[in-house]
């Protein structure tokens, strides 16, 4: 089978943003000089401080990727049994907690915000629910009522903020998790961070991230290896410094799409978060349009097809579960590349003979 690189690299597609090569080399030289590669190194700490400034969170705890961030944060919040969770999210949201013994109760999303619907949480929640896990899809804000629902039922909220860096959203969850994966608005190749305003939760996450070690020799709790390396932190720091420029570029592209897609009645350009990293459109004939774009050299992605509840192992647990809004979105949303807006819009016009 061909590696997707052979195929994808020729296409107009979303791609990682790279900082200046020389700046990366300078940081790599520093790492060499210190010969300090991982275990809470100085670049990791610097990245954490800069993430705190950018997000406004009191504490940022860097981790090896967003998935491990969700696992560590869920452990710190004791979300360890049934948890309410959207199905319109990347499968990592459900997998991370299921992997450590949690049981997702999939709940429908609002067709307007694409995010967890607080009314659905009221319906689905029972006395065994240990927490609410909510994704800020495309970096859009959660309904603040979720906080009230969580407080009413005395359960914590874990927010999957993998898409939301740079969106300026206030911290609503007890902990929130960023992804710094290569395809995100700022990235560390692989990486992530847990954000929280609680010093106790931050302290727990730091312990769990490093095998439960307090200091060099004392193991005071359970733990896992979720540490970020210095090399990854170097990339993360430089990428974070380009965040504002990246957002301006994304915004220009989004506005260009607004102009380019105007008047095509079949296409609904959806709202996106303030980092404008995702350009979602909603169309009824999504798969035909995606195939047409591909035939013209443009890779547009289906998000989050088919929906977590229709992925294994969850589908087998509850094969008849129906989440109408989620299913409608999974079947109609297409993410366009966040560059080449003019070109892609004209191909879409062609498709619809608009
Ligand atoms: N929660 C949510 C809501 C998430 O979206 C994610 C991750 C997570 C949690 C978990 O966070 P992490 O554990 O990943 O930190 C990607 C990413 O693999 C995944 O990180 C991401 N979400 C997910 C939504 O997207 P794919 O399979 O859709 O994309 P991928 O990796 O094939 O790349 C997309 C395009 O970018 C392709 O055209 C190829 C191109 N590309 C990709 C890479 C990695 C490049 O040109 N260069 C590259 O190095 O999963």
Name which residue sits closest to atom 16 of ligand 1, judged by CA.
Answer: 183
Place of tokens 């993360």: 236
pLDDT class for 315, splitting at 50, 70, 90? very high
Res 62 pLDDT > 80? yes
Place of tokens 């998000």: 303
Res 5 pLDDT > 80? no
Using the mean position of ligand 1's atoms as its centre, give its distance from the Cα of residue 15 in Å: 10
For 87-104, the pLDDT digits (tens) are 999 999 999 999 999 999
What pLDDT was estimated at residue 127? 83
Using the mean position of ligand 1's atoms as its centre, give its distance from the Cα of residue 181 in Å: 6
Probe target for ligand 1 pocket from 139, 183, 228, 277, with the most ligand atoms within 8 Å of CB: 183
Angle at 166 between CA 278 and CA 116, to 5 degrees: 60
**Rounded distance between C-alpha atoms, residue 136 and residue 160, angstroms:** 6
For 191-221, the pLDDT digits (tens) are 999 999 999 999 999 999 999 999 888 999 9
Name which residue sits closest to atom 35 of ligand 1, judged by CA.
Answer: 14
pLDDT class for 14, splitting at 50, 70, 90? confident
What pLDDT was estimated at residue 4? 59
Using the mean position of ligand 1's atoms as its centre, give its distance from the Cα of residue 180 in Å: 10
What pLDDT was estimated at residue 282? 98
Res 29 pLDDT > 90? yes
Residues in contact with ligand 1 by the CB-under-6-Å rule are: 8, 13-16, 65-67, 89-90, 92-93, 135, 160, 162-163, 179, 181-183, 192, 299, 301
What pLDDT was estimated at residue 7? 62
243 to 224, 248, 274: CA distances (angstroms): 30, 9, 12
- For each of the domains in the chain, give its residue range(s) and CATH number, in order of start: 21-241 (3.40.640.10), 243-353 (3.90.1150.10)
For 226-284, the pLDDT digits (tens) are 999 999 999 999 999 999 999 999 999 999 999 999 999 999 999 999 999 999 999 99
Contact at 8 Å (CB) between 192 and 69? yes
**Rounded distance between C-alpha atoms, residue 27 and residue 128, angstroms:** 48
What pLDDT was estimated at residue 199? 98
- What ligand 1 atom has the least distance to the C-alpha of 13? 38
Phi, psi of 107 (to 5 degrees): -130, 145
Using the mean position of ligand 1's atoms as its centre, give its distance from the Cα of residue 146 in Å: 27
Percentage of residues of the chain with pLDDT beyond 90: 92
For 44-58, the pLDDT digits (tens) are 999 999 999 999 999
Angle at 306 between CA 303 and CA 312, to 5 degrees: 125
Summarize the confidence of residues 284-298 as an average pLDDT.
97
| List of long-range contacts for 15-24, beta carbons under 8 Å, 24+ apart | 16/182, 16/183, 16/187, 16/189, 17/185, 17/186, 17/187, 17/239, 17/242, 17/246, 19/235, 19/238, 19/239, 19/241, 19/242, 20/238, 23/238, 24/234, 24/235, 24/238
What pLDDT was estimated at residue 9? 75
- What ligand 1 atom has the least distance to the C-alpha of 180? 15
pLDDT, averaged across the chain: 96
What pLDDT was estimated at residue 123? 83
- Identify the burial level of 169 via C-beta atoms within 10 angstroms of its C-beta, where 0-12 means exposed, 13-18 middle and 19 or more buried: buried
Res 318 pLDDT > 80? yes
Probe target for ligand 1 pocket from 62, 159, 181, 304, with the most ligand atoms within 8 Å of CB: 181
Using the mean position of ligand 1's atoms as its centre, give its distance from the Cα of residue 154 in Å: 34
What pLDDT was estimated at residue 124? 83
**Rounded distance between C-alpha atoms, residue 294 and residue 280, angstroms:** 17
pLDDT class for 76, splitting at 50, 70, 90? very high
What pLDDT was estimated at residue 8? 74
Using the mean position of ligand 1's atoms as its centre, give its distance from the Cα of residue 67 in Å: 12
**Rounded distance between C-alpha atoms, residue 238 and residue 234, angstroms:** 6
What pLDDT was estimated at residue 125? 82
Using the mean position of ligand 1's atoms as its centre, give its distance from the Cα of residue 183 in Å: 5
Using the mean position of ligand 1's atoms as its centre, give its distance from the Cα of residue 199 in Å: 30
What pLDDT was estimated at residue 10? 79
């Amino acid at each position: 089978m061909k590696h997707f690189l052979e195929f994808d690299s020729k296409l107009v597609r979303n791609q990682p943003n790279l900082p200046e090569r020389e700046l990366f080399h300078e940081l790599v030289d520093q790492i060499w000089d210190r010969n300090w590669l991982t275990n809470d190194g100085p670049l990791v700490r610097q990245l954490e401080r800069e993430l705190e400034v950018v997000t406004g969170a009191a504490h940022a705890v860097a981790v090896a990727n967003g998935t491990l961030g969700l696992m560590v944060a869920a452990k710190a919040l004791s979300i360890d049994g049934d948890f309410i969770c959207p199905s319109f999210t990347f499968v990592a949201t459900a997998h991370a907690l299921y992997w450590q013994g949690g049981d997702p109760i999939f709940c429908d999303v609002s067709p307007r915000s694409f995010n967890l619907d607080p009314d659905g949480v009221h319906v689905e929640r029972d006395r065994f629910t240990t927490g609410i896990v909510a994704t800020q899809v495309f970096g859009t804000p959660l309904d603040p009522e979720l906080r009230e629902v969580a407080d009413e039922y005395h359960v914590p909220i874990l927010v999957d903020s993998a898409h939301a860096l740079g969106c300026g959203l206030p911290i609503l969850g007890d902990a929130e998790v960023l992804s710094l994966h290569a395809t995100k608005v700022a990235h560390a190749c692989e990486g992530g961070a847990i954000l929280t305003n609680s010093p106790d939760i931050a302290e727990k996450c730091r312990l769990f991230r490093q095998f439960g070690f307090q200091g060099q020799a004392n193991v005071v709790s359970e733990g896992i290896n979720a540490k970020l390396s210095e090399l990854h932190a170097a990339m993360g720091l430089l990428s974070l410094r380009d965040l504002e420029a990246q957002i301006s570029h994304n915004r220009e592209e989004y506005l260009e799409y607004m102009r380019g897609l105007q008047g095509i009645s079949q296409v609904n350009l959806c709202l996106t978060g303030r980092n404008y990293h995702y350009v979602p459109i909603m169309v009824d004939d999504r798969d035909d349009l995606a195939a047409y774009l591909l035939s013209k050299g443009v890779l547009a992605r289906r998000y989050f097809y088919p929906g977590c509840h229709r992925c294994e192992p969850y589908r087998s647990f509850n094969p008849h579960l129906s989440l109408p809004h989620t299913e409608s979105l999974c079947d109609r949303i297409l993410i366009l590349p966040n560059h080449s807006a003019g070109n892609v819009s004209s191909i879409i016009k062609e498709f619809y003979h608009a």
